[in-house]
Amino acid sequence: MTSSSFPASASSSSASSALSRSAASAAPARLALKGDLLDFTAAPAWARVDDPAVRFRPGHWLLIEQGRIVGVQADDPGEGWQREDHSGRLILPGFVDTHVHSPQLDVIASYGTELLDWLNTYTFPAERRYQDPDVAQEGAARFLDALLAHGTTAAVVYPTVHKVSAEALFEAAAARGMRLITGKILMDRHAPDGLRDDVHQAERDCLDLIARHHRRERLAYAVTVRFAPTSTPEQLAMAGALCRADPTLYMQTHVAENRSEVDWVARLFPEARSYLDVYDRVGLLHPRAVLAHGIWLDETDRAVLARTGAQIAHCPSSNLFLGSGLFDWPAHLAAGVAVSVASDVGGGTSLSTQRTLSDGYKVQALKGQRMTAWCGLHAATRGAAEALDLSSELGHFDPGTLADVCIWDWASGPVAQGRMDLARDLHERVFAWMTLSDERNLVASYVAGVARFRRD
């Protein structure tokens, strides 16, 4: 049973759904993919277009054994390999979306509000439906298939306050072999009926989900505070205690997205120096903490992020759509803060990482700064993997990593093709691709060497 108005059968994800449920769940013993391989060996410098951290190997074979990358070579590997020749196409590591809300696919592209009104008008009613296990299961499957159909193979995800919604996401990700970090939302005040928990039941639910899913296959648990206003000080303290008890847990929340929200937090927590300080005081900031937005932080806040190792998930599409503000990316880099990029659907208007990065470029342009394609793509692949302490598993083509890999057309349609033909150097070409492409360019998505989406 579902109350969704976005049937899976009408979306381009139906092909990947079919693959997910088919027998195509075991990686081929030896798979070789040929195309233009692009990844990063380190973090590119801000605003540098000829950066040595960029590794471009056109017309090369990516060799995968039992789901793991074992090498890259120019020569055809021969008969002993299942070969797929995608010559003239771009091959990238699968994208990592570090902040996205699965139930909010149902409210993407909703008109006319800023953050706090948007939550009350659109988001909370959509999330309430996820207390129904059937809705949660159908929604989790539809959401993950949609990620795969956009070239995103790993994600840090918000379900809803309901335990069953986190459970459904874990099971759906395990069925697809995906790297997924999630946890039930903690929210015990300032939310409508049907969307609040309480400290003790929430703690029991978290401990049970951690025991059964954290570090199972490619799953990990994130202590998930929606944002400071919707948790009591007692619940925030409980969340901090969970993190201190197990440093392998992730933490996700929102911070300093919108000025009205920042003012509200200041009234609710007068003892805190800043919004970020509310989290720091209870021990929620650590190297596995992922904080979305961070638009209205100051230099002291950025120093706290750097000291604790907590990272920012920058959500440019959402920030523009909700009119939240312009994130200062270089200021965070200068302070030594890790920054990844995220769709923040449904505040963001697309699951496409290219569209997110294109908006990211525009946000920096409005601040008089320029984001290279290298900084954007690194933040969505190797940079995100390193920030999440997952770079031994994904985000690049080094031997030993799991083959989370996507194949893309360089161009879709005559305008993009014409622009590609005129590109004078690699950065110009990749920047045009980042700006003009989207999920329609996606040919296939592999998760640990298994095709989980194919366009045809």
CA–CA separation, 381 vs 356, rounded Å? 13
Helix (H, G, I), strand (E, B) or coil at 410: coil
Output the smallest distance, CB 342 to Zn ion, in A. 8
Question: Which is nearer to Zn ion, 91 or 291 (by Cβ)?
Answer: 291
Output the smallest distance, CB 257 to Zn ion, in A. 8
Output the smallest distance, CB 311 to Zn ion, in A. 15
Of 227-235, 289-297, 386-394, 406-414, the segment contacting Zn ion by CB under 5 A is: 289-297
- Binding status of residue 344 toward Zn ion by CB under 5 A: yes
Of 105-113, 145-153, 292-300, 441-449, the segment contacting Zn ion by CB under 5 A is: 292-300
Region for 194 from its dihedrals, namely left if φ exceeds 0, alpha if ψ lies in -120 to 50, beta otherwise: left
Output the smallest distance, CB 380 to Zn ion, in A. 17
Q: Which residue is nearest to Zn ion (CB)?
A: 344
Question: Which is nearer to Zn ion, 35 or 346 (by Cβ)?
Answer: 346
Output the smallest distance, CB 123 to Zn ion, in A. 9
Of 24-32, 167-175, 321-329, 343-351, the segment contacting Zn ion by CB under 5 A is: 343-351
Output the smallest distance, CB 158 to Zn ion, in A. 6
Of 290-298, 362-370, 376-384, 405-413, the segment contacting Zn ion by CB under 5 A is: 290-298
| Segment (H or E) for 97 | strand 95-101
Question: Which is nearer to Zn ion, 135 or 225 (by Cβ)?
Answer: 225
- Which one, of 222, 250, 215, lies nearest residue 159 by Cα? 222
Specify whether the CB–CB gap between 31 and 403 falls below 8 A. Answer: yes
Question: Which is nearer to Zn ion, 328 or 344 (by Cβ)?
Answer: 344
Output the smallest distance, CB 194 to Zn ion, in A. 20
How many CA atoms lie less than 13 Å away from 314 in the CB half-sphere? 34
CA-derived radius of gyration, the chain: 21
- Which one, of 242, 384, 243, lies nearest residue 313 by Cα? 384
Residue identified by tokens 């030993």 is 400
Question: Which is nearer to Zn ion, 344 or 439 (by Cβ)?
Answer: 344
CA–CA separation, 279 vs 11, rounded Å? 39
Site size with Zn ion, rule: CB under 5 A? 2
Specify whether the CB–CB gap between 203 and 240 falls below 8 A. Answer: no
Output the smallest distance, CB 324 to Zn ion, in A. 10
- Which one, of 247, 166, 260, 251, lies nearest residue 213 by Cα? 166
Output the smallest distance, CB 104 to Zn ion, in A. 8
Question: Which is nearer to Zn ion, 61 or 321 (by Cβ)?
Answer: 321
> Tokens for 225?
């505070």
- Which one, of 236, 221, 227, 207, lies nearest residue 294 by Cα? 227
CA–CA separation, 137 vs 175, rounded Å? 12
Residues 296-335: x/- map of binding to Zn ion (CB under 5 A)? ----------------------------------------
Of 326-334, 338-346, 420-428, 432-440, the segment contacting Zn ion by CB under 5 A is: 338-346
Question: Which is nearer to Zn ion, 188 or 344 (by Cβ)?
Answer: 344
Output the smallest distance, CB 292 to Zn ion, in A. 5
Of 83-91, 277-285, 288-296, 448-456, the segment contacting Zn ion by CB under 5 A is: 288-296
Output the smallest distance, CB 227 to Zn ion, in A. 9
CA–CA separation, 362 vs 376, rounded Å? 12
Question: Which is nearer to Zn ion, 97 or 344 (by Cβ)?
Answer: 344
Of 31-39, 206-214, 286-294, 359-367, the segment contacting Zn ion by CB under 5 A is: 286-294
The torsion of the CA quartet 286, 306, 331, 151, rounded to 10 degrees, works out to -40
CA–CA separation, 129 vs 194, rounded Å? 9
Question: Which is nearer to Zn ion, 65 or 344 (by Cβ)?
Answer: 344
Single-letter amino acid, residue 387: A
Output the smallest distance, CB 260 to Zn ion, in A. 16
Of 67-75, 175-183, 339-347, 420-428, the segment contacting Zn ion by CB under 5 A is: 339-347
| Bridge partners of residue 155, in order along the sequence | 97, 180
- Which one, of 346, 448, 445, lies nearest residue 145 by Cα? 445
- Which one, of 98, 110, 73, lies nearest residue 322 by Cα? 110
Residues 21-60: x/- map of binding to Zn ion (CB under 5 A)? ----------------------------------------
CA–CA separation, 238 vs 134, rounded Å? 30
Specify whether the CB–CB gap between 65 and 121 falls below 8 A. Answer: no
Question: Which is nearer to Zn ion, 120 or 391 (by Cβ)?
Answer: 120
CA–CA separation, 279 vs 268, rounded Å? 13
Which residues lie near Zn ion (CB under 5 A)?
292, 344
